[in-house]
Amino acid sequence: MAAAAGADVSALGQIVPSKTKPPTVCVFCGASPGTSPAHLAAARELAHTFHKHGIRLVYGGGTVGVMGEIAKTLVSLAGPDAVHGVIPEALLQYERSNREDGLGEEKVQKLIDEDVYGRFTVVKDMHTRKQMMAREVIESGPGGGFVALSGGYGTLEELMEVVTWNQLGIHERGVVLYNVEGYWDGILKWVN
């Protein structure tokens, strides 16, 4: 089975998880702060939990909203090597428009401060992003998986794709909904 733009997810099912690498958790979440301060607080709480248990984070690479909050919190606790952001080229424009220092079209390396948000990789599209994030989780040690914090359509799409990949046997990692203030109640009701 191949995804659009040449992202071959069938290869993900052939990856053997490591028994020696630290666990990596992919967090899907929004570039908005959410409708309540509880959403940003949940991102910080999750980062503290990751730090306490030596869990690495792979996420969508944004520096604002819930995405930015979990990344910068974990980096402040565990250093830049604990976080890997994977951002599609198309979303760099969003990052540029949310910068207060007016970087405009300057080099990408100056756009996302790795000392604040961790290391990052720019990829060509969303499909490549999802495949790269999933590969990091699957190749990681025991305890790796996927978590969805609050977000929008992109978060929901990423969540449903990894659930589907799990059903198809492409991966066997856990998928968790972090249900802040009932954010995921509708989805949970639908699933049940």
Tens digit of each residue's pLDDT (9 = 90 or more) over 56-75? 999 999 999 999 999 999 99
- Look at strands 119-123 and 24-28 and give their pairing: unpaired
The structural domains of the chain, ordered by start, are 42-191 (3.40.50.450)
In this prediction, residue 159 carries a pLDDT of 97
CA gap 26, 58 in Å, rounded: 5
pTM of this structure = 0.86
- How many Å apart are CA 82 and CA 71, to the nearest integer? 9
Distance CA 113, CA 88 (A): 17
101 secondary structure, DSSP code: S
Q: How confident is the model at residue 181 (pLDDT cuts 50, 70, 90)?
A: very high
In the chain, % of residues over pLDDT 90: 73
- Tell me the two tokens of residue 26: 């992919």
Number of helical H runs and strand E runs in the chain = 8, 6
Mean pLDDT score, 166-191:
96
